[in-house]
Amino acid sequence: MIVDIVISLLILVGATFALVGSIGLARLPDFFTRLHGPTKATTLGVGSVVIASLIHSGAATGGVSLRELAISLFLFITAPVSAHLLAKAALKTRANRSAKP
Amino acid sequence: MSHLPILPVLIPFLTAGLLLATHGMGTGFKRAVSSISVVALVVVSLLLLIESGDGSIRAYRLGDWPAPFGIVLVTDRLAAIMVTLTAMLAAAALLTALSGTDTEGRHFHVFFHLQIAGLNGAFLTGDLFNLFVFFEILLLASYALLAHGGGVTRTRAGLAYVVLNLAGSALFLIALGLTYGTLGTLNMADLARVLPMVAFGDQALVRTTLALLVAVFVLKAALLPLGFWLPHVYTAATLPVAVLFVIMTKVGIYALLRVSTIGFVTAPFTADLLQPWLAWLAIGTIALGSIGALAAARLSVVVANIVMISSGTLLLGVAAGGVNAYAAMLYYLVNTTVVTAGLFLLADRVSRQRGAVADFFEKGPRMAGILATGGAYLILAVAASGVPPLSGFLGKIMVMQSLQETSTAVGAWAAMLLSGFVVALVLARAASRFFWEPGLPDEEASTPEPVRQISSNTGSTDAALSGMIACAIVIVLGAAPISDYMRATADQLARPAGYVEAILGDSPAIRRERRP
Amino acid sequence: MEFLVSAAIGLLTASGLYLILRPTTFSVVLGLTLLSYAVNALIFFGGRLGASAPPLILPGTDGHADPLPQALVLTAIVIGFGMTAYLVALALKAKGESGNDHVDAGEER
Amino acid sequence: MLNFVIPVALAMLAIAMGLNLLRLVKGPSTPDRILALDTLTINTIAVVMLIGITASSAAYFEAALLIAMMGFIGTVALCKFLLGGDIIE
Amino acid sequence: MRIDYLSDMGPLLLNLMLAIPFVGALLVLAAARRSRSAAAWTAAAVMASGLVALVPLLPATLSGDVLTTRIPWLPEWGLDIALRLDGLGLLFTLLILGIGLLIILYAAYYMPAYDRLGRFYALLLAFAGGMLGVVLAENTILMLVFWEITSLTSFLLIAYKYEAFDARIAARMALAVTGGGGLALLAGLLLLGNIAGSFELTVILAKGDVIRAHPYYPVVLVLVLLGAFTKSGQFPFHFWLPNAMAAPTPVSAYLHSATMVKAGVFLLARLYPVLSGTELWLVLVGSTGAVTFAYGAYVAILKHDFKGLLAYSTISHLGLITLLFGLDTPMSAVAALFHIINHAIFKASLFMAAGIIDHECGTRDMRRINGMFKYMPWTATLGILAAGSMAGVPLLNGFLSKEMFFTETVGHFAFQGYATWLLPAFATVAGVFSVAYSARFVHDVFFNGEPVDLPKTPHEPPRWMRFPVEILVGLVLIVGLLPQIAVGSILQAAAGAVLPSGVPEFKLAVWHGWNLPLAMSLAAFGLGLTYYWRRQYLFGLHEKYAPKIASPVAFERVYRDAGRLASWLLRVIDTRSLQRYLATLVVFVCLLGVWAWMSLPGRPLTGPLPSTPVDGAAIAALAGLLVGAVGTVVWHRQRLVAVIFLSVVGLVVSFAFIRFKAPDLALTQLSVEVVTIVLLLLSLRFLPGEVTARSSSLRKLRDGGLALVGGAGVAALTYAMLTRPFETISGYHLANAYTGGGGTNVVNVILVDFRGFDTLGEIAVLAMAALGLHALVDGLRLKPYAESAKRDADRHPVMLAEMMRPLLPLALAVSVYILLRGHNLPGGGFIAGLIAAVAFMLQYLASGIDFAAARMRFDYMRILGAGLLIATATGLASWLFDRPFMTSTFGYVHPPMIEKFELASAMVFDIGVFLVVVASILLALSELGTLSRRELIAKSSSREES
Amino acid sequence: MTLFPRVLPQPTITLGIMGLWMVLAPSASLGNLLLAVILGVSIPWITRSFWPDRPYLARPLTGIVLFVRVVGDIIVASWEVARLVVGPLDRLKPAFIDVPIEIDDPFVATLLASIVSLTPGTVSVDIDRAAGILNVHALNVADEAEMIAAIKRRYEAPLKRVFGC
Ligand code: NA
Ligand code: NA
């Protein structure tokens, strides 16, 4: 029961942060501010769901399962790279646009 | 147990793998491996032809799984005929390639053998989805072979061919998805069992599904509104490839024949699926091929259009159905395959000798060795246009007789007679240009030599040509036994119960699960 | 749900068809890719919608999805990928040789 | 409890994804669109994991793992294209 | 006793007689290598031996017996080597062989000395063989075979002097007309055989009543007549015949007298018992013959070339023979047969004589050739006699049959009452023309003053060149004087074959007393000579008004126009446009589908299944799909944006796979998706968006319509399928995957075991795609698309490069994980291969091709080959256990200290798959990557140069 | 010591792979451990050429402390940023800031940049190694100097210690 509550909380937190990130993406005024949105979804949002899933599968099998951590591992490795490249690309695009006219 | 049925697929497949794994070896090694493989293929296919000659239908269960659940290869007379034809064309094409075209691009031999594997797989498989896979193998190999040698024309023709066929493949998959989703099986024999049991309310869906399948096959067979690609593609290919391509349209016809004889006829609501549109469009295809032949500016285009005409003629046979029509079209098929391949070889020989004007119907240096080349031309032209006394005529009268009772007989006869007439005239004019007309003055005649001639070794091409001519003659002289074999084949085709029994007969009762 | 799935497949098909009728090679590639999505989905859903478990024979599971269409689609995906790769190369080759990316030399636009 | 929470969470994620699609359509710049795609991908991971929790099945884990591993490659490639037109040079 | 022996020999002799010319043709070719005269003697011997073979058969045949033989060949198609010798066949055989022998003799002198004659005689013999086949065939299809052999060989004979334009055209013209007629005949004979139930003449000839009463009779008749008329040069198919004199004179002599044109009338005679006796026959055959008779005669006199004159006279006489058959009385048929003999004799001699004159004068223009009687009196005498026969001068054979003709015109049953006089009058007028052109030939060539400007001085030809002419003119006289003795019996026998119901009593005699026909003859003579006398007036008129069409040129023009028309048509229907092909395909498939559905009325679209409830995720996914698909379409001109939207579609599809319980598919789709995007982006560097080519809005509307219809069709079919339950075999797979295939992941067991053969094919496709791409890109040079050419200074962002390095080993570990567990849980060789490939691909992306390629020195081709071989070898291993290809095996191993695990042959197969996938993708990517590097190297080297 | 790098060129990676494998494996059995060792040895060996230089984990414990701190920061910062995103937008003061860094090793610098990106509110835009500057975009910059100092103090310093540079 407590496990269920923990899992539920984690899921809700995760979903909330994913939503907030996407709201940011939709709402924030320029590209660089929008870029901050997805990081939330990545880190806290998916992170919470991952932990929820981890607990859930552990509880279901009665053992310890850490597989879901692999997801977070890969996300932690890749998300900053994506953000970095997106930022660079945006800078480049902006430079191109301002150089053109 | 006998593994003969799978060898026609396995031999070229292993050869391709071996050639890839040893890809650093020299041209000589590749050619040797390739040749040995093709010789083995010819032997195997002849064995298959003999073995199937007793009228037995054998199922080779891949993975030892019972029939509708696993994939089966089926050897019957028809499959043996197609495999043998493929082997013969392969031998001719390889001989031709050995004169130098194989080194014009990369990986020729790999693609060549995979093309054969694809063709043979398509002819042997008893499973519809497996048929799709082999279609893709042979198509991709053909794309690559078509591009072999490079050049704008080939790329352009290739692009259209590839895209059109990809669209066709998508259609094939749609048809297969619907087939499985309605009938719950992919095995052709099983299809024959299931079709008659389709509930009333589902019949339109099944019928439409099979109609889409038919559309795929007639696209490959170059039926009228879908066949415009054929002359461009066949003409653009290098010679060995064109020779091998001759069998390509036959794959579509074969598949249609297979599916319609095993499947469509077994249920009343699909029995008339090819009626009456196929015959009319086949007539149109013959007309289109005739127009194309008449409009052609070069011999190879004429030959490509002859391929188209023969495709139309064969489809007439499929549309008509029945032992007679099948027997006739099969004899015709053997003839037209051999003869058009021979004509492609001849067109190449003409091109090589005439230098810059190639096989265009233009004034150019007169051919040397008129008696040999001209004689070869005469034999092939006579056989191709259906003028007596060669096999083309025999095929034509067989097909015409077999169509006598159909509702489209008048159109079919007219199309066949007129197309033969046009082809004869066009080929006569070509002969006049190539062999009879005085050549250009000497200084012009000695213009820089042929573009296509890579090595001076054309002996192997000539051997291929001689082989095809020999075959053409054998088809006439052996008309009686060949015709008997074809009739027996047609008998086999017209009795799908035998096929179904051979594939599914001793399987455990097929348990079907209702979904959802 | 059946209606939605059908509509989705129809939508993909229509989009794919429209794109393969465009005059540039790249559009055709896009169109064929969309078309193959549609086709794969069609085959896949041939196993019907209502399954409650993937086709894994694990203890205590039932209501497995139909495995056969899944295997077919897997094959189709890979073949489709191969074809796309080849087509892309061919488009490049055509571009390199004739300087444009029109699908044909004909008049249609 | 989970029976109640998960649908709610899924709905929230659906809204999130809808917002991603909105950005995707609106753009305005190409990086914006790539960013929207990237976010959509990451949100999909969450959805897949939630489905996995619902089904109590391990069969969904690999899919989520793969989206995490592969999803960003598209972003990288698209960005590199914007950076130089040549993604592997 | 002796007779019996011979009649037993009959079938053999008959077959032999037919084989002799064809075998002889080969012998002649061999003999010609030795010498010219060897060729001539061989050819003559061949013809003579044919005649010799005929001798034993003569008595029985003359007495009305019919000899038939039959060697079955393709009985079920009605084609057997069945031969028949009856009176009619005998008559023609004698003509073909007899005149053929003389022609061979004549040609030996006529043909130029440099010609080795091998080809000539071989063709001539083959042609004679074809003719023999036509007249001796019992099987009608066999007859057609030989019929077309004559078309073919005459084509080659006419083109014998192929250096000459006229000869080539004439040959093709003859082929077009006679070959074309042969095709009609083929159709006619097939129909005839169908009606009669057999292709054997014996059967057909006995079923005349059935055939004439059959509804297809008119069709058969017209088709057969087309064959007969084209061959025998009937108007309006006559034009090939005059041109055919481009052939060497011996050939013309043969074609015009005993063969070729005679094949046409032979056919009329052969099928006379079956086809005649109707009004339609009377009208068609009679009128065609009449028109040809008159037309040929009228034109003949206008020809200044004497071979031309003779050619038109042939047309005219063939018209006469046709008219005689058309008159359809027993006596007229006899007359026709008689005139066939007579015409053959005098026309052969005339042509040979003409050949001599041509040979001696070097020209054939009668305006220059005059007074030949003075230079070659003996030849002239022969020519005058033959021409007299042609004109119908009494005491010569031509007179007799013409007189029979006149007799038959009087009181013919078709012209009753006031019309009685019409036919005799017509015959007389036509006779007038015949006399006139004969008169011109005689007077203009042999008399009429001195020759004008001849290239050489004519004199008598060599003795043996004239010999055949002498023989024939001798026959003209013999038949003319002693007709009953000379040809009575053979005519009787031939007539017996043509008139099975009874040959009328006839007596061939020179004198029948004063009667109307004689009066008609005399009138024709008088008027004909007058007509010739006033010819200058006629020539003037002709010069002035007759259209000037040289038929060779006209033929070539028609042919060319046909070619042009065909080209134009082809351009209209085949625009060589892929867009058009695709649109056609869509339309075709839609129409076929709609037809297939609509032709079974009363079937509902929606099936009986209750619908599955819709959930939010599905709606969200649909929204994603909508955005993705529509976005791709809307932005397809902005390449990068289109790729982004396409990725959305891929993501949604993957998600759908997950949602509907297909994890393996989702994994595959996701990985393939990534590789596809990278591939597209690699190509985009060189492919502009749709900048140059814009569709018109009408086209967009059309395509949009097509797309919507197609999409709706697919949606409808899918819906129909989804709302119906079905019964599937896949329960077997679920039930047997673990027990029989050793895996719990049924999809994977299907892929590597149940349907492993598919997978083997699939990896072949993948390998080929990579190899094909390699072959295409090999040596290709491309300019990058302008806007993408500007590159960032920081080509390999350090963050990317650094983070991707640890990712590589980790991803490879995941790949191994996926590979090993695939048999039991989602995964397998494909997905593992894709993951590994993507892991390596990332290094390309992160650090560039130079860095990555330097570290990945794999020989992809070898790996491809190895992968294919491993997969195949796994399949082959089952042969050792006498099991079919790809029979798998598995077992559980339990080493000490380690828990038991499974080993399955399918896993080895999966490793092969893995290798092929990795190698294919990396090969493809590195090759596409090389494209840019190639361009870069080229640029930098050009910079160095400057 | 010469044999060790040849057999195990990347001990860190080896550990990483083994850890990943044991996480992924369905059970922590001996067989799986054996496989983990095999992979942990073989994969780095296969991919050794992709690692021109080897970062050396000097103080693993400090690393764990840093990890916990980062996770904590992520949680805290997330709440702040969430408020910013949902609240009125005119409160935002986004800016690019240049953080001078003293790390030479590109991998470690990348790690720093990643941490900065992972913590909500900041995104690493660029690493200029020549100038020794990490370019960061921040969603809301109240005090630029404080932010730079925080990054250097909380992340850069511990990272330098972990990798001994
Ligand atoms: Na004269
Ligand atoms: Na951050």
Predicted confidence at residue B454, as pLDDT, reads 41
* E398-437 pLDDT, tens digit each: 999 999 999 999 888 888 878 888 899 999 999 999 999 9
Chains E and D touch (3+ CB pairs under 8 A): yes
Q: How far is the CA of F85 from the centre of ligand 2 (A)?
A: 14
| Residue E883 to residue E885: CA distance in whole angstroms | 7
Residue located via tokens 């660029």: F126
F99: helix, strand or coil? strand
| Residue E919 to residue E839: CA distance in whole angstroms | 13
Note the helical H segments in E685-745: 697-722, 730-741
Contact status, residue F44 vs residue F13, Cβ threshold 8 Å? yes
Predicted confidence at residue C109, as pLDDT, reads 43
Predicted confidence at residue E46, as pLDDT, reads 95
Question: Which residues partner with F134 through β-bridges?
Answer: F99, F127
Would you state the structure tokens that stand for residue E712, as one six-digit string?
A: 């709706």
* B412-424 pLDDT, tens digit each: 999 999 999 999 9
Would you state the structure tokens that stand for residue E719, as one six-digit string?
A: 């819906």
Q: Is E547 exposed, middle or buried (0-12, 13-18, 19+ CB in 10 A)?
A: exposed
| Residue B45 to residue B213: CA distance in whole angstroms | 28
B446 has pLDDT over 60: no
Report the range of poorest mean pLDDT among B107-121, B203-217, E703-717, E783-797. Answer: E783-797
Do β-strands B58-61 and B72-75 pair in parallel, antiparallel, or remain unpaired?
A: antiparallel
User: Which residues of chain E have a CB within 8 Å of the CB of C95?
Assistant: 686-687, 782
Q: How far is the CA of E373 from the centre of ligand 1 (A)?
A: 11
Q: Flag whether residue A3 sits within 8 Å of chain D, measured between CB atoms.
A: no
**Ligand closest to the CA atom of residue E309:** 1
How many Å lie between the alpha carbon of D61 and the closest alpha carbon of chain A?
A: 7
Report the range of poorest mean pLDDT among B163-177, B308-322, E116-130, E881-895. Answer: E881-895
- Nearest-5° angle of CA E206, CA E211, CA E214? 155
Note the helical H segments in E71-196: 87-110, 118-136, 140-158, 165-174, 180-196
Q: Flag whether residue A21 sits within 8 Å of chain D, measured between CB atoms.
A: yes
Please indicate whether, in this complex, the C-beta atoms of F78 and A17 are within 8 angstroms of each other.
yes
Which chain E residues in 122-141 lie under 8 Å from chain B, judged by CB atoms? 141
Q: Using 50, 70 and 90 to split pLDDT, how confident is the model at E85?
A: very high
Residue located via tokens 């960013």: D35
Q: By C-alpha distance, which of E204, E455, E491, E249 is closest to E355?
A: E249
CB half-sphere exposure, B150, CA atoms < 13 A: 17
* E744-754 pLDDT, tens digit each: 899 999 998 99
| Residue E547 to residue E556: CA distance in whole angstroms | 17
**Ligand closest to the CA atom of residue F113:** 2
| Residue B187 to residue F155: CA distance in whole angstroms | 64
| Residue E201 to residue E272: CA distance in whole angstroms | 12
pLDDT more than 70, % of chain E: 96
DSSP E856: -
* F98-156 pLDDT, tens digit each: 999 888 888 888 989 999 988 888 889 888 888 888 999 998 888 889 889 989 988 99
The average pLDDT across E809-824 equals: 88
Contact status, residue A39 vs residue F120, Cβ threshold 8 Å? yes
The average pLDDT across E342-366 equals: 92
- Nearest-5° angle of CA B33, CA B34, CA B39? 100
Task: Report the mean per-residue pLDDT for chain F.
Answer: 83
Which of E620, E627, E677 shows the shortest C-beta gap to D74?
E677
Q: By C-alpha distance, which of C61, B139, C47, B1 is closest to E750?
A: C47
Question: Which residues partner with F128 through β-bridges?
Answer: F133
Residue located via tokens 């073919």: E152
Task: Give domain status of residue D89, yes or no.
Answer: no
Predicted confidence at residue B447, as pLDDT, reads 46
Please indicate whether, in this complex, the C-beta atoms of E797 and A84 are within 8 angstroms of each other.
yes
Closest residue of chain E to C68, computed from CA coordinates: E730
Contact status, residue E300 vs residue E430, Cβ threshold 8 Å? no
Task: Give domain status of residue C75, yes or no.
Answer: yes
Domain range spanning residue C74?
2-49+66-98
Instruction: Measure CA E419 to chain center.
Output: 49
Would you state the structure tokens that stand for residue B507, as one six-digit string?
A: 């399987």
| Cβ neighbour number for residue E34 with a 10 Å cutoff | 12
Q: By C-alpha distance, which of E97, E23, E100, E16 is closest to E53?
A: E16
Which of F51, F126, F127 shows the shortest C-beta gap to E805?
F51
Question: Which residues partner with F126 through β-bridges?
Answer: F135
Backbone angles phi, psi at E66, to 5 degrees: -115, 120
Q: Flag whether residue D53 sits within 8 Å of chain A, measured between CB atoms.
A: yes
Q: By C-alpha distance, which of E140, E158, E50 is closest to E95?
A: E50
Q: Flag whether residue C98 sits within 8 Å of chain E, measured between CB atoms.
A: no
3-state secondary structure B450-469: CCCCCCCCCHHHHHHHHHHH
Would you state the structure tokens that stand for residue E910, as one six-digit string?
A: 């999966």
E785 has pLDDT over 80: no
Which chain E residues in 846-875 lie under 8 Å from chain B, judged by CB atoms? 859, 861-862, 864-866, 868-869, 872
Would you state the structure tokens that stand for residue B355, as one six-digit string?
A: 């230098």
Would you state the structure tokens that stand for residue E313, as one six-digit string?
A: 């006279």
Predicted confidence at residue E581, as pLDDT, reads 92
Q: How many domains is chain D partitioned into structurally?
A: 1
How many Å lie between the alpha carbon of D39 and the closest alpha carbon of chain C?
A: 22
User: Which amino acid is located at B215 in the chain?
Assistant: A
Backbone angles phi, psi at B384, to 5 degrees: -75, -35
Question: Which residues partner with F137 through β-bridges?
Answer: F96, F123
Predicted confidence at residue E794, as pLDDT, reads 66
| Residue D71 to residue D89: CA distance in whole angstroms | 21
Predicted confidence at residue B452, as pLDDT, reads 44
Chains B and D touch (3+ CB pairs under 8 A): no
Q: By C-alpha distance, which of E799, E49, E81, B431 is closest to F118?
A: E799
Closest residue of chain A to E799, computed from CA coordinates: A81
Q: Which residues of B96-131 are buried (b: 16+ CB within 10 A; e: fewer)?
A: bbbbbbbeebbbbbbbbbbbbbbbbbbbbbbbbbbb
E93 has pLDDT over 60: yes
Q: How far is CA E126 from CA B216, E594, E613, in A?
A: 47, 57, 82
Please indicate whether, in this complex, the C-beta atoms of D77 and E827 are within 8 angstroms of each other.
no
F87 has pLDDT over 70: yes
Which of B13, B225, B479 shows the shortest C-beta gap to E872?
B13
User: Which residues of chain A have a CB within 8 Å of the CB of D30?
Assistant: 89, 93
Which of F31, F50, F126 shows the shortest C-beta gap to E808?
F50
Q: What are the boundaries of each domain within chain B?
A: 274-440+457-504
Please indicate whether, in this complex, the C-beta atoms of E861 and B140 are within 8 angstroms of each other.
no
Q: How many domains is chain C partitioned into structurally?
A: 1
Task: Report the mean per-residue pLDDT for chain C.
Answer: 89
B248 has pLDDT over 80: yes
3-state secondary structure E31-98: HHHHCHHHHHHHHHHHHHHHHHHHHHHHHHHHCCCCEEEEEEEEHHHCEEEEEEECHHHHHHHHHHHH
Q: Flag whether residue F130 sits within 8 Å of chain E, measured between CB atoms.
A: no
F98: helix, strand or coil? strand
Q: How far is CA F38 from CA E324, E895, F13, F17, in A?
A: 104, 17, 13, 10
* E214-235 pLDDT, tens digit each: 999 999 999 999 999 999 999 9
Q: List chains touching D (3+ CB pairs under 8 A).
A: A, C, E
The H or E element that residue F124 is part of is strand F122-128
B449 has pLDDT over 50: no
Closest residue of chain F to E901, computed from CA coordinates: F31
Q: How far is the CA of E310 from the centre of ligand 1 (A)?
A: 14
| Residue F42 to residue B375: CA distance in whole angstroms | 68
**Ligand closest to the CA atom of residue A37:** 2
The H or E element that residue B52 is part of is helix B27-52
E591 has pLDDT over 50: yes
Predicted confidence at residue B445, as pLDDT, reads 45
The H or E element that residue B515 is part of is strand B513-515
Q: By C-alpha distance, which of E770, E755, E771 is closest to E875?
A: E755
Closest residue of chain D to E656, computed from CA coordinates: D48
Would you state the structure tokens that stand for residue B269, as one six-digit string?
A: 């609501």
Q: By C-alpha distance, which of E302, E400, E396 is closest to E346?
A: E396
For the ranges A32-36, C71-75, E509-513, E789-793, the one whose mean pLDDT is highest = C71-75
Which of F23, F75, F117 shows the shortest C-beta gap to A84?
F117
Q: How far is CA E674 from CA B48, D87, E643, in A?
A: 45, 13, 11
Would you state the structure tokens that stand for residue E516, as one six-digit string?
A: 């109307």
Q: Using 50, 70 and 90 to split pLDDT, how confident is the model at A2?
A: confident
Predicted confidence at residue B136, as pLDDT, reads 95
Closest residue of chain A to E797, computed from CA coordinates: A85
pLDDT more than 90, % of chain E: 60
Predicted confidence at residue B455, as pLDDT, reads 42
Predicted confidence at residue E432, as pLDDT, reads 93
User: Which amino acid is located at E529 in the chain?
Assistant: L
Please count the residues of chain D: 89
Would you state the structure tokens that stand for residue B100, as one six-digit string?
A: 């130098």
CB within 8 Å of B449: residues ≥ 6 apart: B355
Predicted confidence at residue E104, as pLDDT, reads 95
Q: What are the boundaries of each domain within chain F?
A: 3-50, 60-163
Contact status, residue E380 vs residue E442, Cβ threshold 8 Å? no
Instruction: Measure CA E275 to chain center.
Output: 30
* E833-886 pLDDT, tens digit each: 999 999 888 888 888 888 888 888 788 999 999 999 999 999 999 898 889 998
Report the range of poorest mean pLDDT among E353-357, E458-462, E695-699. Answer: E695-699
B120 has pLDDT over 70: yes
The H or E element that residue B215 is part of is helix B203-220
Predicted confidence at residue E793, as pLDDT, reads 57
Q: By C-alpha distance, which of E256, E248, E439 is closest to E350?
A: E256
Name residues with Cβ closer than 5 Å to ligand 1, which is an ion. E 366, 370, 444, 448
Task: Report the mean per-residue pLDDT for chain E.
Answer: 89
Q: Is the peptide bond before D28 cis (omega within 30 degrees of 0)?
A: yes
Predicted confidence at residue A97, as pLDDT, reads 67
Closest residue of chain E to A76, computed from CA coordinates: E803
F96: helix, strand or coil? strand
User: Which residues of chain E have a CB within 8 Å of the CB of A84?
Assistant: 797, 799-800
Residue located via tokens 């899944």: C70
